[in-house]
A and B are shown apart, each in its own frame.
Chain A
Amino acid sequence: MSLIKVTGLNHRYGERAILENINLSVDRGEVFALIGPTGAGKTTLLRIIDLLEVPGAGEIYFDGKCIPRSGKQRLEIRRRMSFIHQKPQVFNLSVYDNVACGLRWRGEGKNKTAEKVDHILEMVGLKGYENRNARTLSGGEAQRVALARSLVLEPEVLLLDEPTANLDPISTAKIAQLISYVARQRNTTMIMATHDMSQGQQLADRIGVLLDGRLVQTGNVTDIFRSPQNEEVAHFVGMENIIESVIIANNEGIAMVNIGGNAIQAVSNYPVGKEVYACIRPEDITLALSSTQSSARNSFQAKVSRVTTLGPLSRVEINCGFRLVALVTKISAEELNLQEGREVYATFKATGVHIMEKEIRQ
Chain B
Amino acid sequence: MTEIWHGLTKAIELIISLDPEVMQIAGRSLRISGTACLLASLICLPLGSLIHFHQFRGKRALTNIIQTLFSVPTVIVGLFVFVLFSRAGPLGVLGIIFTPTVMVIGQMILITPLLLGLTISALSGVSKEIVDTATSLGASGFQTIWLVLREARYAVLAAVIMGFGRAISEVGCALMIGGNFKGVTRVLTTAAYLETSKGELELAIALGIILLFLALIINIVLNRLQQR
Contact = CB atoms under 8 A, between A and B. Distances in A.
Interface of A: 47, 50, 52, 75, 78-79, 81-83, 85, 87-89, 91-93, 101-102, 105-106, 149-150, 153
15 contacts: A79-B138, A82-B136, A83-B136, A85-B133, A87-B129, A91-B134, A91-B147, A91-B150, A101-B147, A102-B137, A102-B138, A105-B137, A105-B138, A105-B140, A153-B138
A93 B150 contact: yes
A47 B132 CA distance: 9
B130 interface: yes
B170 interface: no
Contacts of B136: 50, 52, 78, 81-83, 85
Nearest to B138: A79
B68 interface: no
A295 to B, nearest CB: 51
Interface of B: 127, 129-130, 132-140, 143, 147, 150-151
Nearest to B144: A105
Instruction: State the majority secondary structure of interface residues on B.
Output: helix
A360 B222 CA distance: 68
Given A85-B133, A92-B151, 18 more contacts: A50-B136, A52-B135, A52-B136, A78-B138, A82-B136, A82-B137, A82-B138, A83-B136, A89-B129, A89-B130, A91-B147, A91-B150, A101-B137, A101-B147, A105-B138, A105-B140, A106-B138, A153-B137
B132 A52 contact: yes
Nearest to B136: A83
A341 B49 CA distance: 71
A13 to B, nearest CB: 14
- Counting chain A CB atoms within 10 Å of each CB, which of B133, B134, B143, B150 scores highest? B133
Nearest to A72: B140
Contacts of B139: 101, 105
Given A92-B151, A105-B143, A85 B138 contact: no
Contact of A150 (B130, B135, B137, B143): B137
Contacts of A83: 136
A102 B137 CA distance: 5
Given A91-B147, A91-B151, A101-B147, A85 B129 contact: yes
A327 to B, nearest CB: 38
Given A52-B132, A101-B147, A105-B143, A89 B138 contact: no
